[in-house]
Structure 1
Amino acid sequence: MKTQHTDVVAEYLREVDLRLAGLPVLQRRELLADLAAHIENERVERNLQGEAELIEVLERLGSPEVVARAAYEEAGPLPPVVEPPLPPRMAPPMPPAPRRERAPWVLPVIGVGFVSFLVLMVLCAGFFAFSRQGNPAPAPEIATPAAPAPEMSLPAAPTLLDGPTPLDAPVPTATG
């Protein structure tokens, strides 16, 4: 049963804490601690056993809004009671980056360069075609070495100074 009591009290204190968001943190903690101690004292002194009796004590204290308003009045000139804080919002999406514009001279320069390149290629092709057509190149002659003639050694003609030659020598004959 004590769990039910603490659940009701914890919920009540949480609601009061949400409505005290405009007060300094230390002041809020002190007020919540005082409230929790007062509720516990009431429970012990009156020997409260049921959840209904505990809810009756909380109602006598006042709703969380009434308790928060009283705390703000006691604290002095502070902002009025605020609603519980809202969850943070996501940042809006970034706008697209502005489109970069080209300089006005970029495309004409690229176009002139491309046309110049094409003209140069046509001139080169015409030059090579014209040079081949006007001057047909003769077929290259392949120089082949002439086959050397077989060398024959002829006997030198006998001279008188040489003396007897083998031709002058008597030829042996076979007798038989």
Structure 2
Amino acid sequence: MAKKHSKIIFLDFDGVLNTEYHQRLLQYEGKVWQDKHGACFDPKAVKQLQTIVDMTHADIVIESSWKYLGLEAMQEMWQDRQLPGRVIGITPSVISDGMLLSADLEQTSPAALHCKGAEIASWLYNNDMENASYVIIDDEYVIMESQLPHFILTNPYDGLTEELAMRAINILNQQ
């Protein structure tokens, strides 16, 4: 279990840090587009994540499909790539892990339980952080309606931009 943290960034990778623009640029320039961890992240998007971490001191929970590599692999990648912030967890896979404990989830339709929003709600519940200040950064609308005030939708082409980073900072610093 993660320790208590006051601010959490629920982070997706593809379409947020791994942008279509950056991948196309690397391919066009004939540069390496991946390392042992997977696709290389866009330095511009990573810089915006750094700004969010610097301005909020938020910790990171991975909600990307990359989480299936495991928490240790995510933390190793973070260290190897010298990425900003501290990865403290990964969201559970709600259906396979049977983590349907939160009251919010009991009233959710079965189809919605496949969404990352349910996984995020489970992580907050299981870590006793339901009142934490958090932001969800993803390029897909994968949240529960109650999470809308915490949600930042990126464009997969350019990912996490300065404007979106400022919105994330405002959300995290509200509470």
TM-score normalized with structure 1 length: 0.23
Bigger relative contact order, structure 1 or 2 (CA pairs below 8 A, ≥6 apart): 2
TM-score normalized with structure 2 length: 0.24
